[in-house]
Amino acid sequence: MLILVRHGQTDANARGLLLGRADPPLNETGYRQACALAAALPRAERIVSSPLTRARQTAALLAGAPPGTTDVEGVEVDARWIEMDYGDLDGRPASALDETSWRTWRQDPDFVPAGGESLAAVCARVREACLELADEAASADVVVVSHVSPIKAAITWALGVGHEVGWRMFLTDAAVCRIDTSGRVPLLLAFNGPCSGDGSDRAHR
């Protein structure tokens, strides 16, 4: 099973800011969410993480390390699972981009925000990573701790749909998605599952 986990909450998430390559740690709620994930999920044969701190802290807890740890044996860091680069928009509210530009971004996967990365580029790197994990995940649990855009990209890969479909998905903090890769084609079994946390989860791009 390919188990995709969004990291726990950060202060930027709680404030509704666009959070891409900026690298804040988990906040107190995020640690509670990550601890709930560690208690709820089975110990995986393989744990892969984005290189960003919020993802690595979440992955470390899933690997049995104490809170605050980022580098632990048993967690593999793969840069292909890093969040979309929002460029000049990173750390700013969604309202920082005008509605016309938002409309273009949602309709054109090749649109690149100033200094950032296109959705098509995110999907290309994530689909490559998914294909590399698919065979192993067909016979054992593989957990990937990542972010909203890469997880959405993995879902569009599993469903065989266009990149733009990701804009019609919503993921909460510490959400869990499950993809069965044992068949002829990937099968989405669960999307945006709860982390069994305190109910304060919020999601933002």
Candidate list 83, 117, 163, 204, residue with the active-site label: 83
Q: Is 83 a catalytic residue?
A: yes
The span from the CA of 61 to the CA of 70, in Å, is: 9
Q: Is 7 a catalytic residue?
A: yes
Candidate list 7, 147, 163, 204, residue with the active-site label: 7
Instruction: Name the H helices within 41-91.
Output: 53-62
**DSSP SS3 for 10:** coil
- Cα–Cα distances (Å) from 106 to 6, 26, 58, 167, 185, in that order, read 21, 28, 29, 6, 27
Residue 34 one-letter amino acid:
A
Q: Are strands 142-146 and 2-6 parallel, antiparallel or unpaired?
A: parallel
3-state helix, strand, coil in the chain (%, to 5): 40, 15, 45
Q: Which residues are catalytic?
A: 7, 83
